[in-house]
Chains A and B, each alone.
Chain A
Amino acid sequence: MPNSKKTTKTTKAAAKETKAQQTDTALKELESKSKRKNVLMQGNEAVSYGALDAGCNFFAGYPITPSTEIAEILAAELPKRGGVFIQMEDEIASICAITGASLAGAKALTATSGPGFSLMQEGIGFAKITETPCVVVNVQRVGPSTGMPTSPAQGDIMQARWGSHGDAPAIVLYPDSVKECYELTIRAINLSEKYRTCVILLLDEVLGHMRESVRLPDMENVRVINRIKPTVPPHWYKHYDENQKYLSPLASYGEGYRFHVTGLTHDALGFPTNKATEGAEMMERLRKKISYNIRDLVQIESHQLEDAKIALFAAGISARSAKAAVAIARSEGVKVGLLRPLTIWPFPDEAVRKMLQHVETVIVPELNQGQLIHEIKRLTKDKSDSNVIGLQRVNGKMITPNDILRKIKEVM
C-alpha cells in the first residue's frame, strides 16, 4: 500500500515541521526578554531556556536520549550569545570540560541520561571537593545499563546522592512540570554559583519530552545569582576561605590570583594536605555549607495536607499522577494530601517529620524498586514503619492516578 505509506511520511514530516515551528515561537519569546507570552514547549526546551536566562555560557556534552534536545538547542543558541558549545568525546570529558571552564569563570552546564550520569560520577566528586560551580542535568531513563531506551524511570535518586565515591553532600532538584524545568534550571545554576558545588537537576524522561504551555517570566523578574568574586589582593586570597556560612569568594583563572586546585584533600589555600586536622576541616566545610543552609536549599510543595489522613510523597512525574489522584480521592470524600519535594537532596526532613505527625499512612509512588521510601521510613518517629507504603514500578510505564487511587483504597 504505497499510498498509505506516503501519507504517514507526510504526516511525520508535518509533525516535524510543527515541532520546529513551536521551537521557533518559544525561542522568540526567549529572545524578547520582556512581555513574554504563553508558548508550548518541551521540558528539555524549558531546561535550555532556563540555562540561557540564568546566564549559562558554556555547555559541553555528549548525545544521549532523552536529554539530547538540550544539547541541540544550546548548540544553536550559545554561539548567538557568544557562549561556548562543544560536543565532547564522552560524558567523562564533558563533566571535566565544564569544570575547567567554570574555573576560568564560566557558568557551565551539561546534560545527560543514566549511562552518561554514571560515567560522570568521578568528575562530579571532583567538582564537589574543589568547590567548583557547575550543573549536571540528568534526564532519567530505565536502567540498569542501557535499560529501556528511553522509557521513564526514577532510578537515579540515590545515585544523584551517593553516586560519586567518598562522602560529600549533594544538592539535587526535581521538577514536576515544564514550567518548573525552566525555574529549577535557573535555581540549579544559581545554587551552584552560590554554594560553589556541582548541582544536579533530575528530570523524568516524560517531562523532558512532554509539551506544556508556559509563560516564561520577563527577564527583569528572573533572579540570577553570580558567584562572589574576591576583593582582596591576590596574596590574601584563600580559595576556600572560612567565610560566613562557608560560602567564600571564588577567583577565576587569569585574574591574577594564581591559586591551586586539586582533588586531593586540601587546606584553605587549596594545597594538598595529609594532616588529620586539615582533612577533617575540609570535610566539615563541605558538610556545613549544606547543613547550615537547609532552609535556603530545601523547597517543597505541600498540597491539601492540612486535614489529610493519608499522605502521598512523590517527586517529578510521579507527583503529577499523585496530584491527580488527590483530586479524584477528594471528590470521593477521601482525605488525601501530597508532599512533593522540589529539592530531594538535602532531603526535606523537617517537612516530612511534620507530615508524619499528622497523617496515619504515607504512600510513596516512585518509578524504581524503592528509593525515596527509605528516607521516609528513616524519619518515622516510633520506628514502626508499617504505615509507610510503597507503590513501585520499573517496567518503563508511568504510575497512573488510578494506580495510586487503588492503593489509597487498599490502605483505607
Chain B
Amino acid sequence: MANIPQRVVHEYLRHDKKFPHVWCAGCSNGTVLGAIIRGIASLELDRNDIVMVSGIGCSSRMPVYVDFNTLHTLHGRAIAYATGIKLYKPNLKVIVITGDGDCTAIGGNHLIHAARRNIDLSVILINNNIYGMTGGQCSPTTPHEALATTMPYGNIEPDFDICQLAMGAGASHVARTTAFHTQEVQKMVVDSLTHPGFSLIEVMSICPVIFGRLNKKGGPAQMMKDLRDNSIPLTAVDKLPPEKVEGKIIRGTLRKEVQPEYCNVYADLVARVQNMGEDK
C-alpha cells in the first residue's frame, strides 16, 4: 500500500481557514480523516473532482477541514444530497461521511435506497456507538445494556449490524474495519473509490469523552487497544473456534461485486429514449 507522508496529508487540509478542529482530545475522528486522505492521495485523483458530503454529528464535521468540494448538510440527509450531486454530474467522485446515528437512525431510509439503487457513492460511516455531538444519547448501534444518557439503566434495545443492513439492501461493496487499523481504512477507501457502485465502509471508532466515560472504558489509548483486541480479520474467522469469534468486530471486505450502477443505468435509459425519437 502506498505510503503517504504526513506532509501530503497536510496539503489536503484547509489549514489556514478551519483549524483548530472541534473534536475532543483523544477522539478517533482525526485519525480516520488522516487515513481517508491517504487513501484519496494514493489514487492521485484531481481534488476538483471530489465532493465530500456529510450529515450532522461530530464525524460529519469532517468535510470543512479538507480542501475538496464540500457539503455539510442536514442530520441524516447526506446520502440524499449526494445522490443529487452524483446523478447530475456522474464524473464527480462523491464521498459521504456519516455517523451511526446520522446514517442508520434518522437517515436509514436514504441508506437502504441508495444501496438498492447501487448509485456510485462512497459512504464512510464512522460508528462510535453513540450520539457524540448531542452528548451521549443511544444510537441504533449502542450495544445492548451499554449506558447512554437516554438509556440510564442500560440500553434495552438490540443493536444494528450496519454491514448486514447495507448488504440486505443491495449494496455492492461493503467492508468494515476500525479506527485502530488505519492502513485498512486507507485501503478500503481506495477500494471504495475505485468500486463502480454503492459502497459502504463501516469504521468502528471511539468516543472516549462521552461513550468512554459513561461506560468506564478507560480512556482513548485503552479504547484504541480494545478495538485492536476485540476485532478479528474476516480471513481468520473460519480458522477460529466459535467462542473466539463471538462478539468480535469482523474486519474485512464482506462483499465486493460489480452490479449495474445507477448513473450508468440512467445514461443508458437516456440513450434509449433519445434513439426512440430518432427511429420515428
Residue of B nearest to A98 (CB): B84
Any chain A CB within 8 A of the CB of B183? Answer: no
Any chain A CB within 8 A of the CB of B242? Answer: no
Q: Say whether B48 contacts A258, CB under 8 Å.
A: yes
Residue of B nearest to A83 (CB): B270
Question: Would A104 and B73 be within 8 Å (CB), given that A79-B270, A97-B81, A256-B48 are in contact?
Answer: no
Q: Say whether A104 contacts B88, CB under 8 Å.
A: yes
Q: Say whether A258 contacts B69, CB under 8 Å.
A: yes
Any chain B CB within 8 A of the CB of A105? Answer: yes
- Out of A98, A108, A264, name the residue touching B72 (CB < 8 Å): A264
Question: Contact mask B78-106 → A, CB, 8 Å, 1/0?
Answer: 00111111011101100000000000000
Residues of B within 8 A of A355 (CB): none
Stretch at the interface among B27-35, B60-68, B131-139, B171-179: B60-68
Question: Would A261 and B72 be within 8 Å (CB), given that A100-B53, A101-B85, A255-B48 are in contact?
Answer: yes
Any chain A CB within 8 A of the CB of B274? Answer: yes
Residue of A nearest to B276 (CB): A80
- A103–B92 Cα gap in the complex (Å)? 12
Majority-rule SS of B interface residues:
helix
- Out of A92, A258, A262, name the residue touching B64 (CB < 8 Å): A262
Q: Say whether A253 contacts B51, CB under 8 Å.
A: yes
Any chain A CB within 8 A of the CB of B25? Answer: no
Residues of A within 8 A of B221 (CB): none
A-B contacts, CB under 8 A, total: 133
- Which A62-90 residues sit within 8 Å CB-CB of chain B? 79-80, 82, 84, 86, 88-90
- Out of B18, B47, B81, name the residue touching A100 (CB < 8 Å): B81
Question: Contact mask B41-58 → A, CB, 8 Å, 1/0?
Answer: 000000111010100000
Q: Say whether B113 contacts A89, CB under 8 Å.
A: yes
Question: Contact mask A23-50 → B, CB, 8 Å, 1/0?
Answer: 0000000000000000000000000000
- A86–B74 Cα gap in the complex (Å)? 20
- A105–B92 Cα gap in the complex (Å)? 12
- Which B143-196 residues sit within 8 Å CB-CB of chain A? none
Any chain A CB within 8 A of the CB of B277? Answer: yes
- A84–B17 Cα gap in the complex (Å)? 36
- Which A207-256 residues sit within 8 Å CB-CB of chain B? 252-256
- Out of A88, A101, A254, A269, name the residue touching B48 (CB < 8 Å): A254
Residues of A within 8 A of B71 (CB): 100, 103, 253, 260-262
Residues of B within 8 A of A162 (CB): none
Q: How large is the interface on A (under 10, 10 to 19, 20 to 34, 35 or more residues)?
A: 35 or more
Any chain A CB within 8 A of the CB of B1? Answer: no
Q: Say whether B88 contacts A93, CB under 8 Å.
A: no
Question: Would A253 and B92 be within 8 Å (CB), given that A93-B109, A96-B74 are in contact?
Answer: yes
Q: Say whether A253 contacts B69, CB under 8 Å.
A: yes
Residues of B within 8 A of A254 (CB): 48-49, 51, 69, 89, 91-92
- A264–B73 Cα gap in the complex (Å)? 9
Question: Would A80 and B277 be within 8 Å (CB), given that A105-B88, A256-B48 are in contact?
Answer: yes
- A195–B84 Cα gap in the complex (Å)? 21
Question: Contact mask A255-293 → B, CB, 8 Å, 1/0?
Answer: 111111111100001011000000000000000000000
- A79–B277 Cα gap in the complex (Å)? 11
- Which B246-280 residues sit within 8 Å CB-CB of chain A? 266, 269-270, 273-274, 277
Any chain A CB within 8 A of the CB of B228? Answer: no
- Out of A84, A92, A259, name the residue touching B87 (CB < 8 Å): A84
- A105–B83 Cα gap in the complex (Å)? 14
- A109–B141 Cα gap in the complex (Å)? 36
- Nearest CB on A from B52, distance (A): 10
Q: Say whether B51 contacts A263, CB under 8 Å.
A: no
Any chain A CB within 8 A of the CB of B217? Answer: no
Question: Contact mask B98-125 → A, CB, 8 Å, 1/0?
Answer: 0000000000011001000000000000
Question: Would A259 and B69 be within 8 Å (CB), given that A84-B87, A97-B87, A253-B89 are in contact?
Answer: yes
In the A-B complex, list the 7 residue pairs whose CB atoms are closest, starting with the nearest.
A100-B84, A96-B80, A97-B84, A101-B84, A100-B81, A262-B72, A93-B80
Interfacial residues, chain B to chain A (CB-CB below 8 A): 14, 17-18, 47-49, 51, 53, 63-64, 67-74, 77, 80-85, 87-89, 91-92, 109-110, 113, 266, 269-270, 273-274, 277
Given contacts A60-B84, A104-B84, A106-B88, could you give 18 more A-B pairs where the C-beta distance is less than 8 Å? A58-B87, A79-B270, A79-B273, A79-B274, A84-B266, A86-B87, A89-B109, A89-B113, A90-B109, A93-B113, A98-B84, A99-B81, A104-B89, A105-B88, A253-B85, A258-B47, A259-B69, A260-B64
Q: List 16 A-B contacts (CB under 8 A).
A: A79-B269, A80-B273, A80-B274, A86-B87, A92-B77, A93-B110, A96-B80, A96-B83, A97-B80, A101-B85, A103-B81, A256-B48, A261-B70, A263-B72, A264-B72, A269-B17
Interfacial residues, chain A to chain B (CB-CB below 8 A): 57-58, 60, 79-80, 82, 84, 86, 88-90, 92-93, 96-106, 108, 122-123, 126, 252-264, 269, 271-272
